[in-house]
Amino acid sequence: MYNRVLMTGADGVIGRVLREELRGVYPEVRLSHRRPFGDARPGEEIILANLQVAYVVLHPRMMDLLDPELVRFKTILKRPISKMTLAQSITLTPGTITIDIEDDEFLVYAMTRSAAESLPGSSMERRIAAALEGGE
């Protein structure tokens, strides 16, 4: 028996049905889709950032798709371990790098505008708050 499965088209009509059916059958379900489609549920991992970076890098007009920017945003996280966890999660996400953290403000490099727009108030930040700060 396999321990994990990769599902492409996870937010399509068939993908949504399969996603429900696979929950609980496999310990880990990796989901991919062409566009963002919401938060991962327990046991799911969304690999959208990997696909977005691969698309940009392999596209014949890569230079037209790149839109790098520095993003500043405030975090809801208070504990240093929580902030470090978010910083590492951002840096491990393809196309983004945490440059600096000062008090409750992050400075992040993002390779594309969509990556930059996904940073403030992310689901990752909320999950870290729930896990390390008691849901604050």
- Residue at 54 is within a domain: no
Co-location of 65 and 21 in the same domain: no
Pairwise pLDDT comparison (4 vs 134), residue with the higher score? 134
pLDDT of residue 125: 87
Task: Show the beta-strand stretches assigned E in 1-136.
Answer: 4-8, 28-32, 44-46, 69-74, 96-102, 105-110
Measured in degrees and rounded to the nearest 5, phi and psi for residue 135 equal: 80, 15
Co-location of 28 and 65 in the same domain: no
pLDDT of residue 127: 81
pLDDT of residue 49: 67
Pairwise pLDDT comparison (130 vs 49), residue with the higher score? 130
- Residue at 53 is within a domain: no
Range of the domain at 87: 61-136
Q: Percent of the chain at pLDDT above 90? A: 18
Co-location of 36 and 88 in the same domain: no
Residue whose C-alpha is closest to residue 114's, from 72, 63, 52: 52
Distance CA 8, CA 6 (A): 7
pLDDT of residue 136: 46
Co-location of 67 and 8 in the same domain: no
Q: How big is the CA angle at 16 (ends 11 and 21), to the nearest 5 degrees?
A: 145
pLDDT at 63 over 80: yes
CATH of residue 131? 3.30.1370
* Average pLDDT score over residue span 1-27: 73
pLDDT of residue 2: 62
